[in-house]
A and B are shown apart, each in its own frame.
Chain A
Amino acid sequence: MFLIKKNDVLKLAQELEKSYSVYGPVVEKESGQTFLAKVDNVTDIDLNAPIPSLPPKNILFPQIEKIIGYKYDQSSKNAEIKMLVVPEAKALFGIRSCDLAGVQCLDRFFMGQEFVDDVYLEHRKKTFIVANTCTAPFAQCFCACTDSGPSAKEGYDLNLTDLGDVYLVEAGSDKGKELCEKMGLEKSDNSHLDAKVKVVDKSLDLFEEKAVENKAWISRVMNRITTGFIKPEIWEYIGDQCFECGACSFVCPSCSCFNIEDFNKQNGTTERMREWDSCSYEGYTRMAGDHNPRKPIEDRRNKRFFCKLSYSQSQKYLRPGCVGCGRCAWVCPGDIGLPNVVTYVRREITEREINE
């Protein structure tokens, strides 16, 4: 493990810039919101910026991406097809542990199942990840409930922790270690690891005072959702509040449903695009012939929370699908972000137990 002076921490990004396009938290002046932006100048990166409004999902799994291109000449019957995915090498600098947990969900889902998604793999194998420990939670955070923070445990190349005048730099991969050695970083000792434990504990202690917007004690709810032991009225109540806007899927670090469509260009070629989709849309499951097995909105809402919180889905991610970032609660116009849904289900459990 290594140390770097606080004033020098962006030198890591400078070093990465030589081999990667660097993405880091940048505060947008007009809105005051943080975005994980591709930076031309690494000094734009603000490691103390608030949690980014969007997760790093779009960097590894673009919202719209050309996957293949083809040209078919009707008269000569000549067909040419080629893969169009050529991602650049990217470094994610200073992402929060919740967002890293989201990336791991995507990794395990896209690369760890029966088939490996070769489009995602192309992005992922050229990615360098520098995580950043949260020394204090934000108002919307509940990563303490979903075991995804405040400090990353795995999945990073480097993990930074602010120890006051220095950053502890933990290497999680060979390429992370090589980078630190190449830069000649000072080695840390056990006292620095002890200091990190104190920082993480203090961060957890601050949840009660600072993370006031959301709480989601999910374990009991996971059991109920897995066994389907939730009254239909609860899903109807949740469904009634859904605007079917898809914002929750859009901002979720682990939501990865996509649609595929072929777009014809003026020059006679066609590009096959894959684009983010959401299970809240009615057309999501509609088949040719208009049969739709999930027509009512409550069936679709039920599905989303099943996907986030059931055991079977967690087996695919090796963790709950929710990473506790609080973005869905932030954007939902119907007030049915995941923490509220968890609250409704818990309330039902409690009421039932009182009545029984």
Chain B
Amino acid sequence: MSEYKVITVPEVAVIKEIKKEIEDTSTFYLEFANPEVEKNFKIKSGQFIMCTIFGAGEFAVSLPPSPENDRFHISVRNAGKVTGALHRLQVGDKVGIRGPFGNGFPFEEIKGKNVIYVAGGIGLIPLRSSIVHVLQHRNDFGRIILLYGSRSPKDLMFQYNIEEWQKIDGFETFITIDNPAPGWTGEVGFVNTLIEKAQVPVDNTVAFVCGPPIMFNSVIKDLVNRGMREENIISTLERHMKCGIGKCQHCAIGRTLVCTDGPVYTYKQIKTLGEQI
């Protein structure tokens, strides 16, 4: 294995900064305690890590930073025992990191195409690194469109990033919330309604879709009905994971394991796996 990976014994990393994103989700900027590891630890967009919270356990988490020039960070919702323990930590506290694991996004294959991002809620977190990468290489791609929906205005992730990205020439953003809210003048409705509004192209186009299963299924249905090919719809899946290296089998979907064969799949692949998403 030529790539540097931490497999069994986690490497210690220090929380350098904590940024509250939305009500229950924060971003933790991390730096490895060992300078050698800090230097050798290279991620690919779309991969994930296993993060140990000492005394609480370990969880799998996607990587929002772009590998090129972002600081290493994770954005995590307080959703259970271990992520809850992470949210109680402060700057200077330490965590353990194993990884990076997984296949990553297929950037080489999508060069020259229109790129559509469809995200629901915190589904924007795993797509962030891809958006940053694609925008950094703006000229390699056609139209770049973000369709983003969340429950309410206060549930929108990375608003400061979105404002930055909107300054980049030709980045089209459509944002919606599920129900009307005081002070909200933008779109209201589920994110799949934006597909029509954005006049999403289907030829020479790839769509990255990430969000809760119900949103995922309805968005995919609409994209396919519009004429998008199943192999051009890309998603990153989430599963209960324990080992990250294809051994514990908790993340099995059909014949594949999300940790080693995924987490990035095309919809065409997902359909052949014969399991619910």
> A interface vs B, CB < 8 Å?
67-68, 70, 72, 74, 77, 79, 81-83, 109-110, 113-115, 117-119, 228, 256-262, 264, 270, 272, 274, 277, 279, 284-289, 291, 293-294, 299, 303, 306-307, 310, 312-313
Contact = CB atoms under 8 A, between A and B. Distances in A.
Contacts of B238: 287
Contacts, number: 116
Interface in B155-204: none
B93 interface: yes
A68 B212 CA distance: 34
Contacts of A262: 52, 55-58
Interface in B228-277: 238-240, 242-243, 245-250, 252-255, 260, 274-277
B94 A79 contact: yes
B54 A299 contact: no
Given A264-B55, A288-B80, A82 B9 contact: yes
A72 B248 contact: no
Contacts of A68: 8-10
A284 B80 CA distance: 16
B195 to A, nearest CB: 24
A80 B80 CA distance: 25
B274 to A, nearest CB: 5
A285 B58 contact: no
Contacts of B253: 293
B134 interface: no
Contacts of A291: 212-213
Given A79-B94, A259-B250, A286-B240, 16 more contacts: A72-B55, A72-B94, A77-B93, A79-B12, A81-B12, A82-B9, A113-B247, A260-B58, A262-B57, A264-B55, A287-B240, A288-B83, A291-B212, A291-B213, A299-B276, A310-B255
B194 to A, nearest CB: 24
Contacts of A228: 274
SS class of chain B's interface: helix, strand, loop or mixed? loop
Given A118-B7, A291-B213, A256 B249 contact: yes
* Chain B interface residue bracket vs A: 35 or more
Contacts of A115: 1, 7, 245-247, 260
A307 B248 CA distance: 13
10 contacts: A81-B10, A114-B245, A114-B246, A261-B57, A262-B55, A285-B239, A287-B238, A293-B275, A293-B276, A294-B276
SS class of chain A's interface: helix, strand, loop or mixed? mixed
Contacts of B57: 261-262
Contacts of B56: 262
Contacts of B55: 72, 262, 264, 270
Interface string B88-103: 0000111010000000
Contacts of A117: 245, 247
Contacts of A72: 54-55, 94
A17 B131 CA distance: 61
B117 interface: no
Contacts of B212: 291
B59 interface: yes
A81 B250 contact: no
Contact of B246 (A81, A113, A270, A274): A113
Q: Closest 3 A-B residue pairs measured CB to CB? A: A72-B54, A312-B255, A288-B80
Contacts of A286: 240
A277 B250 CA distance: 9
Contacts of A274: 242, 248
B240 A285 contact: yes
B153 to A, nearest CB: 22
A293 B250 CA distance: 11
Nearest to B214: A291
